[in-house]
Structure 1
Amino acid sequence: MPQIFRIVPYSIYFWSNESDPLEPIHVHISEGRATSNATKIWITSTGKTVIKVLGENPG
């Protein structure tokens, strides 16, 4: 899982080859370490963003 940024205490990262079929371009944000239920931010083709909170992010 490549980490893009770390803004204490948050990690911004992506998973490679995530989902089948692949989802649109997005990053995950979690407090502390990377988790599978982290908040997702999709980047749309118009440059806007869509945020989906998947669950609690344990620190």
Structure 2
Amino acid sequence: MIEDLALAFQASLLVRHAPPAVADGFCAGRLGDERARTFGTLPRGVDGRAIVDRALAA
């Protein structure tokens, strides 16, 4: 339960403060039906390129 609360809090922060591709990717990968607990695992349809481009621009 604590882990689920932490994920929900992370998602809420990303939805409010991150670009849509990042927030959508996190929510789909950690909260969606195809969620996975493995680092770097994202379901189909997530804009991985936009996430990587944002990380490299920082």
TM-score for both structures, normalised by structure 1: 0.23
TM-score for both structures, normalised by structure 2: 0.23
The structure with the largest helix share of the pair is 2
The structure with the largest strand share of the pair is 1
